[in-house]
A and B are shown apart, each in its own frame.
Chain A
Amino acid sequence: MELVLANHSSYPRVGASREQQRLRRAYAQRERGEISADDFNRVQDSVVAEVIEEQARAGCELLTDGQIRWVDSISHLAGRLNQVEINGLLRYFDTNFYFRQPVIKGRVAGNGPLVAEEFRYARAVSPRPIKPVLTGPYTLAVSSIRETPLYRDLPTLVLDLSEVLAQEVRALAGAGAEVIQVEEPAILKHPKDLRLLHKALKPLSQAKGSSQLALYTYFADVTPLYESLQELPVDILGLDFTYAPRLPETIARLGSRKTLGLGLIDGRNTRMEAAPQVFPILERILPRLSGGIAYLNPSCGLEYLPRDKAVAKLRLMKELRDTFLQRGKR
């Protein structure tokens, strides 16, 4: 069984040093009109390159651009669509992070690429494969205010967003993405809508070409949904183990037809996981997986951690993986 080290999605964009805080300064300067959009983009570019290099140096094998350009995982995408305005701040699940809430004014439609350009840049500067990340249609929809009567019913908006995101999946696949990650944390809070999610993922699945489509959920216990998630039209399921004490035994019992992204490294807490916590779970579930490959990744985006801890978690992931595999050989 191959165990690939993958980053999850976001990555801290500032660190402790002055140099590592240049994006924060540039953002403030841009807001005050002291630097041009081009200047600001150059700083963003350099920080994307920096965090890609940092992930690679830490031993990560499937990287992300750290979502460095995203204000948050909702408004970055929704804000680029037609008929969407961006409103006030709202708490992102149970975190202490706040996203800007979209207001849907009319029929949503794409308005050029969402992240494909960002992906191309990241890919060009990265020594390793980059995994583009999209927030899924369901999570985008439930995080929005539906102001138009067109979307009195949630499903209509979810399915329209799904069409928009399918175009993006097609663009990303065309740009060479091997794995495309779609995040749907909200589905864990609304298990009743699983059929709707299924329907919404279909167009994405049809657009993926030769890419692998990954569905990542987090911030709640996925165990009750685990079996149903196996039915969804995706290739990879990313699972947050930190909320799910019974998930290992569920996977051991049911196995998995899909490749799994094992979120065993807590992306929300600074404490470093130890082998005795992680190895028994790996021993238990790896033999039950098919396909010969699994991803080891943080439980969620690493932006909830300070930069030094985020990189330490990636290093730890490599250390644990290498020790685990060597142990098996002996």
Chain B
Amino acid sequence: MSRAKLEKLGLTLPLLPTSTVGSFPKPDYLLQARARFARKEITQKELEALERKATEFWVQQQEEIGLDVLVDGEQYRGDMVAYFADIMPGFRMGGLVRSYGNRYYHKPIIAGEIRWPGPMTVKWWKFAQGLTSKPIKGMLTGPYTIMDWSFNDYYPDRKSACLALAGAIRKEVETLVEAGAKVIQIDEPALSVRPEELPFAIEAMQMVTDGVPAYFITHICYGAFEFIYPRMLRFPVHNFDLEMSNSGLDLIGLFKKHPFNKDLSFGVLDVHSHKIESPMLVKERIAKALQVIPKEALWVDPDCGLKTRTVEEAQGKLRSMMAAVKEIRQALDKAPKRKQRRIEVGSVVKKRRKKIRKHKYKKMRRRMRHKKK
């Protein structure tokens, strides 16, 4: 539980702090501008002006909806690995590789020594933080995931490539903290793909976060957690942000066996679905989480980045989430301490449990995910 850590950093957050995983949909004008920029029809400057406009829009939206810890919305990023690979010395853009069906992407190649090129995200963090008094999260991709999603021509093995990346990401973290960032999210969606590599993934994250005065979150949006839990609790961050609503919520079973001892950002919105969850459904999901996670350690957010949804869907989903959180907060405030748990869970939980049992594909779906948040 890291309430103390947050307070030490000067952050006072309400119970069940709300946030988002990082990316928001790009408005049509920005999508068009990006396509035109790719065709060299507009300048970098012109594109950037629109990226700023879209960032302003999303910061304002998050404030209006009432979220507690905000993001810049990643309006200036494409892929979460390619964004960093494009900037960092040592990387070269590779040829096309298929990801599924008729979808292809350029997979980066580590072709030389990886170095930190100077601030990669700080300018955008500052810009977004300048628009609000609420904390903006620093948003980075973790060394293990960048390594796993790249080819490696240069380093002798996966571990040394990962540790080299950790050195560069560490510098970015330090620069974000110098600029004033207090909450930094470092995404490691690839963390669970090769359980045997968890030890060096942990070592890399240790290099990134060790001794840095910030509250660290890591987002993992798919994966076979059963293979790395509870070992993954050694991952040196304060908060795990996990996909829960699209997973049949069966991580709860794991947590019952081995108590989860960090803060948990609990995904309550399915980002793959167009359907906007009702506040009631979100409440059920939160209630379920409160069965195994103390209320002081629980954050609430969507499963993953919302960038694949429309602007309206993203807004609708977040409003639903916020409405649910407000109701639960009220219930928690009113209830005498002893009775809190019972109020939180109530009968909805029983219903939910039945539903989960019925969920035939839950094992398979847990591993389902899409490329980037």
- A residues sitting closer than 8 Å to B (CB atoms) are 12-16, 21, 24, 27-28, 31, 71-72, 88-91, 94, 96-101, 145, 147, 269-271, 303-309
Contacts and interface: CB of A to CB of B under 8 A. Distances in A.
B193 interface: yes
A309 B99 CA distance: 17
Interface stretch (B39-47, B204-212, B360-368): B360-368
Contacts of A145: 360-361, 364
The bracket for how many chain B residues form the interface is: 20 to 34
Contacts of B364: 90, 101, 145
Contacts of B97: 12, 96, 303-306
Contact of B369 (A71, A91, A97): A91
Contact of B222 (A12, A72, A88, A91): A91
Contact of B368 (A15, A21, A89, A271): A89
A306 B367 contact: no
A28 B102 CA distance: 8
B29 interface: no
A31 B102 CA distance: 10
A72 B100 contact: yes
Contacts of A100: 100-101
Given A89-B368, A91-B367, A306 B95 contact: yes
B95 A13 contact: no
Contacts of A88: 368
A96 B99 contact: yes
Given A89-B368, A91-B369, 11 more contacts: A91-B193, A96-B97, A96-B148, A100-B100, A145-B364, A269-B152, A270-B151, A270-B152, A271-B153, A309-B94, A309-B95
Given A16-B95, A145-B361, A270 B102 contact: no
Contacts of B370: 89
Contacts of B368: 88-91
B213 to A, nearest CB: 35
A24 B95 contact: no
Contacts of B153: 269-271
What is the predominant secondary structure among interface residues of chain A facing chain B? Answer: mixed
A259 to B, nearest CB: 29
- For the complex of A and B, the 7 pairs showing the least CB-CB separation, nearest first, are A306-B95, A98-B100, A270-B151, A27-B102, A94-B193, A271-B153, A94-B194
B3 interface: no
Contacts of A309: 94-95, 151
A306 B360 contact: no
Interface in B295-346: none
A14 B96 contact: yes
Given A89-B368, A90-B364, A91-B369, A269 B151 contact: yes
A271 to B, nearest CB: 5
B100 A306 contact: no
A84 B60 CA distance: 48
Interface in B351-373: 360-361, 364, 367-371
B94 A24 contact: no
B95 A90 contact: no
Nearest to B193: A94
B37 interface: no
Nearest to A142: B364
7 contacts: A88-B368, A90-B368, A91-B222, A96-B99, A98-B100, A269-B153, A309-B95
A252 B75 CA distance: 55
Given A89-B370, A90-B364, A306 B102 contact: no
Contact of A24 (B102, B148, B152): B102
Nearest to B363: A145
A71 B101 CA distance: 6
Contacts of A94: 193-194
B100 A97 contact: yes
Nearest to A303: B98
Contacts of B98: 12-14, 97, 303
B171 interface: no
B363 to A, nearest CB: 9
A147 B360 contact: yes
A305 B151 CA distance: 9
Q: Which residue, A27, A88, A303, has most C-beta atoms of chain B within 10 A?
A: A88
Contact of A90 (B94, B101, B148, B367): B367
A96 B193 CA distance: 10
A180 B365 CA distance: 33
Interface string B140-154: 000000001101111
A27 B102 CA distance: 7
Contacts of A307: 95-96
Nearest to B364: A145
A32 B49 CA distance: 34
A88 B370 CA distance: 11
Contacts of A27: 101-102
A16 B106 CA distance: 10
Contacts of B154: 271
Contacts of A24: 102, 104
B95 A15 contact: yes
B115 interface: no
B95 A308 contact: yes
Interface string B211-240: 000000000001000000000000000000
Contacts of B271: none
